[in-house]
Amino acid sequence: MRGLGGRGPASKVGDHGRQVITRCNGLTTETNGERMAWPTTAAIVADTRNVGAYRGEFVMPYNPMPTRKEWQQEKKKHGIPDKIIKSGSFGEKAEKLQKKFGNAGVAKVTTANATALIACAGEADVLLDEWSTAAKARKAADFTNRAEAIKTVEGYKTAVKLVREMAEAALNPIGISKANWKKFEARWNAAKRDPNNVEKLAHMYSQGIRNDIGQGFHDAYKMRAVLHLPTNVEAKIVEYEATAAKWHDLVDDTDPLDDATERVKFWKDMTKAANLGKQIIQLNG
């Protein structure tokens, strides 16, 4: 029996044994008192399947911007000089945005606050880009560790990007599928070039049909009651979900694809799913 694992990071980040992220600073989080690398966008979005995505709710476990106090700690740690940016105090501006994200309800991204959070993310990007550009123009000797200082601010930008992507997913999860279409297409073409290679077929299904484009379609399927999609789009999403689900067992056991007859059935369903996916994206705009 050969398997390829679950739907991306969802097998690691789920309701069962999920860690609670208590705070975030720089490029790491503190999780139940232990330092760890930031979860990826995919991990957070995958986790939302278990915590309210069907209601259009996406959980963001930390505020993407630092408070002034947290920024002062980073300044001390990396020897960051004052007045990096000309528009004012970075710490003060960052804290204002931190509060703005909080007031917009960043802890739970929903269809109701998604637009406001996207606007916050745009403002944050302007500030973070201003700081990064100015810091890179300064002499490295002006800092104790300029590289780490820049990496810290890039970490804030990564978190802001995560908020934006979750907000966009709350408004229209099909956008995730559209953004990942080229990645799916690459996996599809690799499998088509070697149509009897079981590992490539199963990889295309697991990472392409289920993850690359399937993630957005799956969320749209679960959220269809709140998205108010056009009838023809919703019908195709339901059909995509059913078609992809027929081969779910491949995640744990790829042996069925050893049979030539099953491979013919597999390709028929995958072709149907891919065509449905393209139609959904085109209809969704």
> How many structural domains is the chain composed of?
2
- Residue that terminates a domain, selected from 129, 154, 171: 171
- pLDDT over 80 (residue 93): yes
Backbone torsions φ then ψ of 228, nearest 5 degrees? 55, 55
Q: Are residues 127 and 77 in the same domain?
A: yes
**Residues 183 and 151 occupy one common structural domain:** no
Same domain, 163 and 210: no
pLDDT of the residue at 277: 97
Asked which of 107, 137, 171 is the last residue of a domain, the reply is 171
Which of the pair, 52 or 12, is modelled with greater confidence? 52
Whether residue 190 sits in one domain with residue 148: no
Query: Torsion-angle region of residue 56: left (phi > 0), alpha (psi -120 to 50) or beta?
Result: left
Given a cut of 60, whether residue 88 has pLDDT beyond it is yes
Asked if residue 60 and residue 14 are part of one domain, the reply reads: yes
Instruction: Give the residue from 146, 171, 196 where a domain finishes.
Output: 171
pLDDT above 70 (res 39): no
pLDDT at position 15 over 60: no
pLDDT, mean of residues 62-66: 92
Structural domain contains residue 2: no
Residue 62: the pLDDT is: 81
Greater confidence, 61 or 192?
192
**pLDDT at residue 90 greater than cutoff 50:** yes
> Residue 46: what pLDDT?
42
| Mean pLDDT calculated for residue range 128-139 | 97
* Range scoring the smallest mean pLDDT among 8-12, 221-225, 278-282: 8-12
Pairwise pLDDT comparison (259 vs 50), residue with the higher score:
259
pTM, full prediction:
0.66
Question: Domain limits at 255?
Answer: 175-284
Tens-place pLDDT, residues 183-239: 999 999 999 999 999 999 999 999 999 999 998 999 899 888 888 899 999 999 999
* 88, 100, 179, 274 from 155: Cα distances, Å: 21, 19, 22, 35
The segment with the largest mean pLDDT, out of 129-138, 196-205, 254-263, is 129-138
The mean pLDDT of the chain is 83
- In the predicted model, what is the mean pLDDT of residues 136-144? 97
